[in-house]
Structure 1
Amino acid sequence: MEKSSSIEQPSVNRPPLNSPVKPKSRQMKSLFYKVKNSPYLFILPYATLFTLLIIMPVLVAVFLSFTYFNTVQFPEFVGFQNYIDLFTGDTVFLQHAVSSTLLYAVIVGPIGYMMAFFLAWMLSQVPHNVRTIYTVIIYSPSVTGPIMMAIVWRVLFSGDQVGYLNYWLLEWNIIKEPVQFLQSPEFLVPVMIFVGLWGSMGVGFLAMLAGLLNVDKSLYEAAYIDGIRNRWQEIFFITIPSMKPQMLFGAVMAIIGTFNASGIAATLSGGTPPPQYAGWLIVDHASDFGFIRYEMGYASAVTVVLLLIVVLFNKISYKLFGEKD
């Protein structure tokens, strides 16, 4: 019996050589690389935290601002009643909280911002070892916070002869009796602003210092060849334009820091609220209604108004220091 010279092979459905269909292993591998190199995967941790810690609290605050919520019962929808009461019936908010917050922000924000740039520029001119020591000294008040600084400054501005300022004013015969710096509204607000300026050298100051240290030195050489003759021209035409991102970051942090300040006047005066609501800030007002009176809906309306004010001032800072592109 003759054996067949060829063995029949089972038929296999193979794709043509020029077929666009890839084997499953190559498809899975390609999909894996696409997912692995996707930019969305890199921003996923940040997006998750930003949603949980920023977006969700803001949305909850906006929702609660339209309700009456005493933290015990379920929120009761009241529409715009909280905002109507806030702008038509709350004299403390309109006459004290808003005015004090704007005054504090307008003075402490720009002056603290300019001080941060000036001190950072001065430190950029000194050697590294000395710069590190001075940086820690200047930055340390912002670490303790304005409230801790207010506690420290109470000793200086105390309203009796024990207070350092009253003691020296009496010794020099400038005053005849101790001045109540922390109980008089006309003195309490300037003291609060002074304390705020003392503790305003925060993260924005460090960002400006880092920006100053990373400006390309060759730009200064080229600028002097082109006609710059002094340090002021060097700062305005080379330094500030070269560190706009750091300047913008410092401006945003200054705005957030000043509008987020709270409890300084109450800590200085030793009582809540401070005398005649002097130095009463918007965050103090929200904390009073939210954590003392337990009117979370009304307190949420106060925080929403504060958020809109902060967004407005941030828009102004982006106009000044943001890139046009």
Structure 2
Amino acid sequence: MSMAIRNGRSMRKKDTLWHQVRINRASYLLMAPYFTLFFLFTVLPVLMSVYLSFNYFNMLEMPRWVGWANYIKLLLEDDIFIISLRNTLLFAVVTGPVSYLLCLLFAWIINEFRPKVRAFLTLVFYAPSICGNAYMIWNLILTGDRYGYLNGILLRTGILNEPILWMQTEKFVMPVLIVVQLWLSLGTGFLSFIAGLQTVDKGLYEAAAIDGVKNRWQELWFVTLPAMKPQLMFGAVMQITQSFAVADISIALAGNPSVNYSGATIVTHLLDYGSTRLDMGYASAIATILFLLMVGTNKLVQRILRRVGE
């Protein structure tokens, strides 16, 4: 009897679903191109990567099923991956929250200026993230001889007696990469915060003042941030993705491989196996681990952000 009831309920749910699809068929038709492209170029590659992670695949032969062998080798035998994982987690823990807070703080401050000044400052802060010559600038600053800008300043002021090979000295590589990433981090998340601040209803501040909100910090916590939660979520996703997917900075400044793998990240390790060695099964296992790290971190951050304003 209970089985029949459950079957009846499931049939009613299906009828309701198809009824809603028929009613809103024009909307689904308009969304179909996006969902088709999203499935073909996002969902399908992720599923294929997960499948290939359980195979040996060298791009020349058909994939050969090896089960958990790639993951066992990755987590128990690959010392470079462990170094890359540690560097990536350190990088994400430092740059993720700091860059997120900097984006929010600068956006909040810039939002108080007049429109023309606000537009100019937004361009100034956003420009480094889209600057194609950003790495060239930092290479000039960090050049290891006395003609490098940083070495030149420190030598001229007497802080150093001889030039430092910044990106060939292991202890300096990760701190420098973190500083450069923070400089480049005011990107899409920063713009989303600026846009979110523009959409906050000014009447909410008047209502909050009547309810007892007395200063700007209380306005920020109880009014501004709750009103822009979608932008906060989007900015969190973007900053997490940037902090976990760092590779170009490390390769451009420290090389690949870097000295004693001090600048190695999960993505540089992935590029090594996927682009150089063409071991796509092993590279897919690395990509799957990175994907799980990103998803887990996003879920944790979203749970924290839901409590903003409480």
Considering the TM-score relative to the shorter chain, is it more than 0.5?
yes
SS in structure 2 opposite 1:201?
Answer: coil
The CA RMSD over aligned residues, in Å, is 1.9
Q: Deviations over 1:83-109 (max 9, x none)?
A: 010011100001x11011011111111
Structure 1 residue 39 displacement after superposition = 3.9
Question: C-alpha separation between the residues in 1 aligned to 2:48 and 2:131?
Answer: 30
* Structure 1 equivalent of residue 300 of structure 2: 316
Q: How many angstroms apart in 2 are the aligned matches of 1:175 and 1:36?
A: 70
Residue range with higher mean Cα deviation, 118-127 or 42-51: 42-51
Deviation at 1:60, TM superposition (A): 1.0
Q: Evaluate the alpha carbon distance shift between residue 44 and residue 276 of structure 1 in structure 2; reply closer, same or farther with a 3 A threshold.
A: same
Give the match for residue 66 of structure 2.
78
1:306 aligns with 2:293: no
Number of residue equivalences: 289
**Distance between the aligned counterparts of 1:297 and 1:151, measured in 2?**
34
Measure, in 2, the Cα distance between the counterparts of 1:169 and 1:143: 29
Percent identity reads: 43
Query: Does 2:87 correspond to 1:103?
Result: no
Q: Within 5 A, what are the aligned runs for 1:227-242?
A: 227-242=212-227
SS of equivalent residue, structure 1 residue 182:
helix
CA–CA distance in structure 2, aligned partners of residues 311 and 298 of structure 1:
20
Give, as a single letter, the amino acid of the residue that structure 2 aligns with 1:240: L
Whole-Å separation in 1 of the counterparts to 2:307 and 2:210? 27
Higher Rg of the two aligned structures: 1
Structure 1 residue runs of 5 or longer lacking an equivalent are: 1-30
Q: Which amino acid aligns with 2:180?
A: V
CA distance in 2, matches of 1:39, 1:306: 35
Judge conservation of contact 2:256–2:268 (CA < 8 Å) in 1.
no
Counterparts of 2:178 and 2:33, CA distance in 1:
38
Letter in 1 for 2:202: K
Q: 1:255 aligned to 2:240? A: yes
Q: Deviations over 1:100-148 (max 9, x none)?
A: 1011111111100000001111111001111111111111111236xx4
Measure the CA separation in 1 of the matches of 2:113 and 2:130.
Answer: 23
Matched-pair contact (CA < 8 Å) for 2:100–2:235 = yes
CA distances 1:202-256 after superposition (whole Å, capped 9, x unpaired): 1111111111111111111222222222111111111111111111110011111
Say if 1:312 and 1:36 are closer, same or farther in 2 by CA, change over 3 A: closer
- After superposition, residues 189-200 of structure 1 pair within 5 angstroms as 189-200=174-185
What pairs up with 1:270-289 in 2 under 5 angstroms?
271-289=255-273
Residue type of the alignment partner of 1:74: M
Question: Which runs of 5 or more residues in structure 2 are unaligned?
Answer: 1-18
TM-score of the two chains, using structure 1 as the length reference: 0.85
The residue aligned with 2:33 is 45
Q: Deviations over 1:174-208 (max 9, x none)?
A: 11111121111111111100110111111111111
TM-score normalised by length of structure 2: 0.89
State the SS of the aligned residue for 1:73. coil
